[in-house]
């Protein structure tokens, strides 16, 4: 079927396609980029996007409610970053039952009710970080693995990737701390790291699995005057993290490509709605940014994605 027929259909209904994009939260830099990507796609494809996360960040139950509410609103398609690979299955089934197709981004979902999956390989991100850590430490040292929140799937994968690589390949690197969770806010990460550094000032390296924990730990390192001394590998980017990378306070950042993820997510669903064949699995890749390569145009685009033209701020 062709574009033309599509246009007819739209005219028939008298409105543009309405796509709901449901992230896990709305306040991290990462989701902002996804949002920008989604808006970019919506402009190119001439559809309308509603951007709406669960009201409490990272709350599975609330995300289910959001999906249900959009089913009731009767949107044409849903792009979802599921907070849980299992819990979101039923709402997605419900959507499919009401003929609303779903594209999954960022984290996986069990079952086959979705039409496409666009994501980063989080486990690989963790592996990448572990390898970089080993390189930074020269093969041996004592490190912290600081975890994000209990039950957060994508960060747990990163943590696991990191941990598995470490234990399997680098026996000389020992973990001083590996089951401390920062909780959701920067301040709680900050305090946690401060208290840990108070106990183990001898630490050689730290890995954090997401942006808020990376920033909180960075602040603690700066306050304890250990920034730059302790090898620090973080995840995701934000202006402050980029600045720290430049100053040498952070030694490496594992990056994803959220802009692309958001863009492809919307594009996939629209293509599907318009009757195109689409790929069922797309990996948007993970990258490693260091002080050395941070000015490469590719990396720079990931570190400081320019989405001013898509979003108001």
Partner 1 sequence: MIKKNIPGLQIREKTRIQHLISWLAPFLGLILVLVIFSLMPEVQDRFLRISNFKSVATQSVIVALGALGMTLIIISGGIDLSAASNIALSSVIVAFAINAGIPPVFAVLCGVLTGGFVGFVNGSLITSLRLVPFIVTLGMLGIARGIAKWTAGNQKIDAPLSWVNELMARHPSPSWLLMAPGVWLMILLAVVMAVVLRYTVFGRHVFAIGSNEATARLCGIRTNRTKIIVYSVSGLFCGLSGVMQFSRLTVGDPTVAIGLELDIIAAVVIGGGSLRGGEGSILGSMIGVFIMAFLRNGSTMMGWPNYIQEIIIGAIIIVAVGLDQLRHRRE
Judged by CB, which is closer to partner 1: 86, or 291? 86
Cα atoms found within 13 Å of the Cα of residue 207, Cβ hemisphere only: 34
Judged by CB, which is closer to partner 1: 39, or 192? 192
Closest CB 18 distance from partner 1, rounded Å: 9
Rg of the chain in Å (alpha carbons): 20
Judged by CB, which is closer to partner 1: 3, or 69? 69
Q: Which residues bind partner 1 (CB under 8 A)?
A: 20, 26-27, 29, 32, 50-53, 55-61, 64-66, 68-74, 84, 86-87, 89-90, 94, 97, 149-151, 156, 176-177, 179-181, 183-187, 190-192, 194-196, 198-199, 215, 219, 223-225, 238-240, 312-313
Residue 202 token pair:
């001898």
CA 223 centroid distance within chain:
27
Closest CB 127 distance from partner 1, rounded Å: 20
Whole-Å CA distances, 115 to 83, 87, 89, 250, 306: 18, 18, 13, 39, 29
Give the C-alpha separation, 193 to 188, whole Å: 9
Judged by CB, which is closer to partner 1: 5, or 179? 179
Residue 108 token pair:
């996986």
Alpha-helical (H) ranges within 114-273 are 122-137, 153-169, 186-199, 211-223, 239-247, 258-273
Closest CB 200 distance from partner 1, rounded Å: 9
Closest CB 140 distance from partner 1, rounded Å: 21
Judged by CB, which is closer to partner 1: 132, or 232? 232
Instruction: With CA atoms as reference, report the closest residue to 231 among 313, 142, 116, 103.
Output: 142
Judged by CB, which is closer to partner 1: 131, or 147? 147
Closest CB 50 distance from partner 1, rounded Å: 4
Judged by CB, which is closer to partner 1: 7, or 201? 201
The per-residue b/e assignment along 137-154, b for 16 or more CB within 10 angstroms, e otherwise, is beeebebbbbbbbeebbb
Closest CB 122 distance from partner 1, rounded Å: 15
Q: What is the dihedral of CA 211, 213, 218, 220, to 10 degrees?
A: 160
Closest CB 226 distance from partner 1, rounded Å: 11
Strand partners, 230: 227
């Amino acid at each position: 079927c062709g574009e033309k027929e599509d246009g007819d259909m739209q005219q028939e209904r008298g409105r543009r396609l309405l796509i709901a994009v449901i992230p896990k939260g709305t306040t991290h830099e990462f989701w902002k980029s996804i949002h920008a990507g989604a808006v970019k796609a919506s402009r190119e494809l001439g559809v309308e996007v509603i951007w709406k996360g669960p009201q409490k960040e990272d709350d599975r139950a609330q995300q289910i409610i959001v999906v249900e509410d959009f089913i009731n609103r009767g949107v044409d398609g849903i792009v979802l970053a599921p907070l849980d690979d299992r819990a979101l299955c039923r709402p997605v089934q419900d959507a499919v039952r009401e003929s609303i197709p779903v594209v999954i981004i960022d984290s996986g979902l069990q079952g086959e009710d979705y039409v496409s999956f666009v994501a980063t390989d989080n486990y690989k991100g963790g592996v990448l970080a572990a390898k970089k850590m080993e390189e930074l430490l020269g093969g041996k040292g004592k490190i912290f693995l600081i975890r994000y929140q209990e039950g957060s799937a994508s960060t747990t994968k990163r943590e696991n990737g990191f941990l598995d690589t470490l234990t399997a390949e680098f026996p000389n690197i020992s973990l001083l701390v590996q089951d401390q969770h920062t909780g959701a806010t920067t301040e709680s990460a900050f305090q946690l790291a401060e208290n840990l550094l108070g106990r183990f000032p001898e630490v050689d390296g730290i890995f954090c699995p997401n942006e808020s924990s990376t920033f909180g730990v960075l602040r603690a390192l700066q306050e304890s005057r250990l920034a730059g001394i302790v090898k620090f590998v973080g995840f995701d980017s934000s202006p402050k993290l980029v600045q720290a990378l430049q100053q040498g306070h952070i030694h490496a950042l594992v990056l994803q490509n959220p802009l692309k993820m958001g863009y492809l997510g919307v594009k996939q669903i629209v293509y599907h709605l318009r009757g195109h064949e689409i790929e069922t699995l797309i990996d948007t890749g993970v990258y490693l940014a260091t002080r050395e390569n941070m000015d490469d145009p590719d990396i720079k685009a990931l570190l400081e994605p320019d989405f001013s033209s898509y979003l108001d701020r």
